[in-house]
Amino acid sequence: MSSATAIDYRAVGEDRRGPRIPLLATGLALGSFLAVTFSLCVAFGLLFPELAMYPSWAPLLPGFTWLSWRSFLLGLVESFAYGFYVALVFGPLFNFFARRLP
């Protein structure tokens, strides 16, 4: 009654050894998330200067100062790069352990 068909594991985020995280999609998602978060924090700082998040961002984003277009774009790029970096480290680690644990 059942027919045997080949499953394309790559299409569903798995291979024959178990689940895997696609690095490009994860990098783009995390990078975008941090870039949006950075933009929201800058907007919040412009609306409520006394509660600005600048002191939190400045040590994490080299060259970022409050606030010019150049500095904003630099912070945006650096935030995106941090997200992509997390994906490049987390993705392979997850894939490694997912294949080895039951």
| Cα–Cα distance for residue pair 68/95, rounded to 1 Å | 40
Q: Is the pLDDT of residue 2 over 70?
A: no
Q: Give pLDDT tens digits for 36-85.
A: 999 999 999 999 999 888 888 888 899 988 889 999 999 999 999 999 99
CB 87 within 8 A of CB 31: yes
pLDDT of residue 94: 92
For residues 102 and 54, the model is more confident at 54
CB 77 within 8 A of CB 69: no
User: What does DSSP assign to residue 17?
Assistant: T
pLDDT of residue 69: 93
| Cα–Cα distance for residue pair 70/63, rounded to 1 Å | 10
- Distances in Å between the Cα of 89 and the Cα atoms of 38, 51, 65, 73, 82 are 21, 33, 28, 24, 11
88: which residues sit within 8 A by CB, 6+ positions away? 23, 27
